[in-house]
């Protein structure tokens, strides 16, 4: 499988992410009343915001019905935050159609077997280093950072760099001219 190059990354218009094991380290806390808590990396959150500011549609697709995920997506301004999804491929296809995005313009970052169907639709398939071999074999790219610990931010940097926009993002925060 040929890994995608900068041109493939530059054409991404929709970046979709699994949640457990991608935006989180795969663990969650469950209280005695059934409420859950999840740990999110703030750098991943900034990466998602930078993608949206660049005009890239961001989608979160989770098999769990997590209230914590709903709150995090709301805080980041993510419109497509689907919870309790049993068919991630159908969900990804629907989001792409709603946004007028071709599947070859979709990046999907997943980490486990329930992500494989959605993975197969995406033009750019990315996983995390701790994903099982069955997922890693099907990925075009693997992040160096683990899920929940900067993997999403790493992907955001790849996408912005491929568009020639990463230095401008850095300059915006540093006050320097790109």
For the chain, which residues score pLDDT lower than 70? 1-3, 177-178
* Per-residue pLDDT, 36: 78
Give residue 27's pLDDT.
Answer: 81
| DSSP β-bridge partners for residue 30 | 36
> 151 with 143: CB under 8 angstroms?
yes
Q: What is the pLDDT of residue 1?
A: 59
| pLDDT value of position 37 | 80
Number of neighbouring beta carbons within 10 Å of residue 160 = 23
Reported as type and span, the H/E element at residue 160 is helix 151-162
- Cβ contacts of 121 within 8 Å, gap of 6 or more: 89, 92, 93, 103, 106, 108
DSSP bridge partners of 126: 109, 141
The reported pLDDT for the residue numbered 173 is: 87
Domains and CATH numbers, the chain: 6-173 (3.40.50.1000)
State residue 103's pLDDT score: 97
Looking at residue 156, its pLDDT comes to: 97
The CA distance from 152 to 44, in Å, is: 5
Angle formed at CA 154 by CA 131 and CA 141, multiple of 5 degrees = 50
pTM exceeding the 0.85 threshold for the entire prediction: yes
């Amino acid at each position: 499988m040929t890994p995608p190059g900068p041109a493939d990354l530059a054409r991404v218009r929709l970046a979709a992410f699994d949640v457990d094991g991608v935006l989180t380290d795969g663990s969650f806390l469950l209280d005695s009343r059934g409420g859950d808590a999840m740990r999110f990396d703030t750098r991943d959150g900034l990466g998602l915001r930078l993608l949206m500011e660049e005009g890239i549609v961001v989608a979160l697709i989770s098999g769990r019905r997590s209230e914590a995920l709903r709150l995090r997506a709301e805080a980041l301004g993510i419109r497509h935050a689907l919870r309790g999804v049993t068919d991630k491929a159908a969900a990804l296809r629907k989001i792409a159609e709603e946004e007028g995005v071709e599947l070859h313009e979709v990046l999907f970052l997943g980490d486990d077997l329930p992500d494989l169907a959605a993975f197969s639709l995406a033009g750019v398939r990315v996983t995390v280093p701790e994903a099982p071999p069955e997922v890693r074999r099907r990925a075009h790219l693997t992040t160096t950072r683990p899920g929940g610990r900067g993997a999403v931010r790493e992907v955001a940097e790849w996408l912005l760099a491929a568009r020639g926009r990463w230095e401008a993002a850095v300059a915006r925060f540093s006050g320097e001219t790109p």
